[in-house]
Every structure is written in C-alpha cells, then in structure tokens.
Amino acid sequence: MKDFAGTPGTVTGLVLRIAQFMFAAGCIASMATTTSFFNFTAFCYLVASMGLQVIWSLSLALMDAYALARNRVLHNSILVSLFVIGDWVTATLSLAAASASAGITVLYFHDIGGCTIIAECFKYQFAVALAFLSWLSAFTSSLIMFWLLAAG
C-alpha cells in the first residue's frame, strides 16, 4: 500500500488523531459543565457521539504512536478496512450530532432569542464549534483512509 501523509503510523496521522481527541474531549467538557444539557436530546446525543469519538481517536493515536516508536507498518488491507469503517461511522455520527446541536443553538439564540444565562449559551456554542472541528479532523482522516484502501 502507498505511504502518504495522514496514513496510519505516520506523524501526520498521529497529529490528526490527537486533534480529534482534543476537540471531542473539549466539547464534552464544555457540555458537561452546563447545568441543563440533559434536557435536550440533541445535546445528549452530541455528548454520546463525542464520547465515541474520544475512545476511537485515543485508541488509534496510541496505535499510531506504537507504530512510530517501533517502526512498524500498519498498512495491511484488513486493518485499513477496519479503520475505514470506524472512521466513517464516527465522522458521520459527529457531523450529525454537531449539526443537530447547532440547529438547536441557532433556534434558541437567534430564532427565539431566549438566551437568559449568557455563560451557559456561550458554553453550548463553544461545544458545538469544538464538535465541528472534531468532525473536520475525523473527516480528513476518513478520506485519507478510504483513499488508501481504494488506491490499494
């Protein structure tokens, strides 16, 4: 299999995984410090989806770090197929969760204009922004993985 930036076991790949992990963890932290996120189905879904993203990205970051440290190559087609499926599932769930939460944030803070506690609103918006950043890095990873699989 070809070797290019962002594939498993490269420094760019590791950086992408760490970025996904950091953004997703930040999103969960921002949501968890609000007092009423559990009243909104979409925000609960966002936390669940970011939790999945955290677990997935952390596992793959550790695998990348191990491959880099030991100079191992992770490019066999079964492993890459697994990465592709996992990446696509987490990226799609992240985008759906981020969009659903963004829909509600816009509804509350723009359409209705009913944001009474400024600190809370800011936290919701910050969490949504971090979720989109996490999706963006996960999407980049998933495109690279898919390209790697297809290009053989």
Give residues in contact with its own copies (CB under 8 A).
Answer: 39-42, 92, 95-104, 106-107, 110-111, 143, 146-147, 150-152
Can you point out the beta strands (E) in the chain? none
Q: How far is the CB of 140 from its own copies (least distance, A)?
A: 12
Query: Residue 149, class by beta-carbon neighbours within 10 Å (0-12 exposed, 13-18 middle, 19+ buried)?
Result: middle
Q: Which is nearer to its own copies, 122 or 147 (CB)?
A: 147
DSSP labels, 46-77: HHHHHHHHHHHHHHHHHHHHHHHHHT-----H
Write down the least CB distance from residue 32 to its own copies, Å.
19
Cβ closer to its own copies: 61 or 123?
123
Q: Select 58 or 115, whichever has its Cβ closest to its own copies.
A: 115
Give the dihedral of Cα atoms 21, 87, 40, 114; nearest 10 deg. 70
Q: Token digits for 84?
A: 């592709």
Minimum Å gap between C-beta 70 and its own copies is: 29
Give least dist CB 88 to its own copies, A: 9
